[in-house]
Structure 1
C-alpha cells in the first residue's frame, strides 16, 4: 500500500452512493452537513455551489467538486442571496424537475438546463490521516482539456453506468466511485501549492521513508535504518521528515501503526495477537497498552463500538 491508498482506506467505511439529477427553471436545494465526503460533477449546464461559511463556486460542464469533510452546502441555479438560501429545500425533499438515475427520463429531459452527478462517501472522521485532514473544505477541479485524463475517464464511465440498468453495475459503480475519490485527491495534490502533504510526497527523501514505513509498518524500524533506506544521514532525514510531515519519523510510525490497528479492529475479526504482530508489537499486552494510551480505550472496547461499520450499506 502507498500513503494515499492507506490514508483513504483508514477512513473509508460502508459503500459510496450516487445518482444523476436533472433540473430546470429556478431552483435552490440544501445538502446538510454529512459525516463523510460528498461530490458533484456537472455533466450538462451550470450551477452554483454555496458552501456554509465559504465563497460561492461557479460550476460548469465537466467541473468536479469534492467536499471531503462533509460540509453543508447549497446547490442553486444562480448565486442566490442569503434569503433565497434560507428558503432552500432539503435535497431529499427536492424534486427540482429532476429524477434519480433509476427512474425513466421525463419527456422534457432534453430541455433541462442542468444534469449533475451527485454522490457521497461514508468516512470515519475519528481517525483521519493528516493527508485527508489537510484537504480544504471544497476541492474544485475545473474541467480543462488535457488535465487529469484518468479523472475524466472515470467520470465518463460513471455517466455510462448510471445511464440505465446494466449487467454488473452493482460492482462497477461502487468501484468507479472509489476510483473517482482517488483521482480527485490526486488531482488536488498535483495542483496544490500550499499543502504540506503534496510537498512531503514530492520530496524524494521523505517520500522514500514514507513508502518504506507504509510498505512494512511491522518491521523493526529505527531512525538509522530508515535513514539508510532513504539514502541520507539520520539528522537529514529527521529534519526534512519532521518539517514536512509534522512529526518525527518514529512518532509518525507509532501513530500509523495504531491507526492501522484501529482499521483492522473495525474491519476484521482477527485476534489481538495477530493484529499486534501485523503492526509490529511483540505481544498483545504491549499492543493493548499502546492502543489504550493513544485512543483512550482498550482494543476490545474499540472493536465493540465499531463493529459493522464496514458492512454498512450505501452512504
Structure 2
C-alpha cells in the first residue's frame, strides 16, 4: 500500500457515517469537539463555516468540499448573524441524524442542501502525514478541477437519496474512498507550492520511494545506507533530505511505523505476539514487547485487551447519521 492509504488504515477505528441535510434559512449549528474527522459538501445553496479558535469564517458554495481532520468544534450557518444551536452527540460520540427542513419558509428564504458525515479515527496516535494537516481543508468547486472527486460526490449523493439494493455496503465504501480523494486532492495541490513538510515529501520522488519501501516491508532490517542506495543517493544526502521533509530521521520513522503497524495488528487480529513481532522486524517476543511498552506505555497484551473493549463499544454505537 502507499503511504496515504496506510496512514488512513492505521488510524481508522470504525465505520464512517453520512447523510443528506436540508436546511431552510435562517439556521445555525454549533458542533462540539469530537474524535475523528468531519466533512461537509454543499449540493445546493450556500452557508458559512465558522472554524474554531477565532479563525476567519469560510463561505461555502455549491460543489465546495470541506474536511475538518481534527474536529475541535465548529459552526455552520446560513449567515454570520444567525444564532447557533448546539448539536448534542449520541452516547457513542456520533452526530445525531439531522432533521431535513423541506417545508416552505418565508418568501426568499434560501434552502441549503449538504452531504455531511464523519470518520472515526484514532487521534491519540495520528500519522504525521495527517497530523500536519490544517484544521480546515477547503476545496472550492472549479470547472475541471478534481473530476474524480466530483464524480464520487455524485455517486454518494445518489446512494443516499435513492436507497437501492446494496446501498448499505456501497455507502461505507464510497465514504472511505471520499476521504482518500479529498486528501489526495489537497496534497496534490499543496505539493505544487510546498518546500517542506509532508506535502513536499509526497511530491518528492526520493522520499516517496523510501517511504514506500518502509511501508511495504517494515520487517526488513533497513539501514540508512540501504534506503539511500534504493533511491540513488548517498547515505548522508538521503538522510538529510528525508529528515528535512518528513520531520524525523529515516530509522526513527521506521521504528514509529513498525510500532504503529504492531498496534493495528494487535487491535484488529488474533495473531500471536511472536507473529506480530516477526511482521514488525523483531527477532524475539521479548525485544518486541520491550520496544512496544516503551512506545505505548502498555504491554502488547494489555493494549490488545483495551483495543478490543473499545472496538466493542464503538461497534455498538454505530447507529447515528450526521
Q: Are the aligned partners of 1:257 and 1:279 in contact in 2 as well (CA < 8 Å)?
A: yes
Matches within 5 A, 1:177-196: 177-192=175-190, 193-194=193-194, 196=197
Give 1:164 deviation, angstroms: 2.4
What residue number does 2:204 align with? Answer: 203
Q: Are the aligned partners of 2:22 and 2:102 in contact in 1 as well (CA < 8 Å)?
A: no
CA distance in 2, matches of 1:29, 1:275: 45
Matches within 5 A, 1:7-46: 7-46=7-46
2:218 is paired with a residue whose SS is coil
What residue number does 1:288 align with? Answer: 289
Q: TM-score by structure 2 length?
A: 0.89
CA distance in 2, matches of 1:231, 1:187: 28
- Does residue 1:306 correspond to 2:307, yes or no? yes
- Does residue 1:224 correspond to 2:225, yes or no? yes
CA distance in 1, matches of 2:10, 2:218: 14
Q: Could you say what the CA RMSD is over the residues aligned between the two structures, in angstroms?
A: 2.3
Aligned residues: 305
2:239 is paired with a residue whose SS is helix
Q: Are the aligned partners of 2:68 and 2:136 in contact in 1 as well (CA < 8 Å)?
A: yes
1:162 is paired with a residue whose SS is helix
Give 1:282 deviation, angstroms: 0.8
CA distance in 2, matches of 1:268, 1:96: 32
CA distance in 2, matches of 1:228, 1:253: 16
2:71 is paired with a residue whose SS is coil
Equivalent of residue 147 in structure 2, options 127, 139, 149: 149
Give 1:294 deviation, angstroms: 1.1
Deviations 1:84-126 (A, max 9, x none): 34xx242669999942xxxxx85659x8611001100011111
What residue number does 2:236 align with? Answer: 235
What residue number does 1:123 align with? Answer: 121
Bigger Cα displacement from structure 2, 154-163 vs 299-308: 299-308
What residue number does 1:102 align with? Answer: none
Give 1:253 deviation, angstroms: 0.3
Q: Are the aligned partners of 1:24 and 1:96 in contact in 2 as well (CA < 8 Å)?
A: no
CA distance in 2, matches of 1:136, 1:250: 26
Alpha carbons of 1:131 and 1:97: their partners in 2 closer, same or farther (altered >3 Å)?
A: closer
2:241 is paired with a residue whose SS is helix
Deviations 1:116-173 (A, max 9, x none): 0110001111111100001110101100111111111110000100002211011100
Give 1:234 deviation, angstroms: 0.6
CA distance in 1, matches of 2:280, 2:10: 14
Matches within 5 A, 1:29-178: 29-53=29-53, 54-80=55-81, 84-85=83-84, 88-90=85-87, 98-99=99-100, 106=102, 108=104, 113-178=111-176
Deviations 1:15-61 (A, max 9, x none): 00001011112111111111010000000000011112121110000
> Which sections of structure 2, spanning at least 5 residues, go unmatched?
none
CA distance in 1, matches of 2:245, 2:156: 36
CA distance in 2, matches of 1:160, 1:108: 24
1:153 is paired with a residue whose SS is helix
Q: Are the aligned partners of 1:151 and 1:183 in contact in 2 as well (CA < 8 Å)?
A: yes
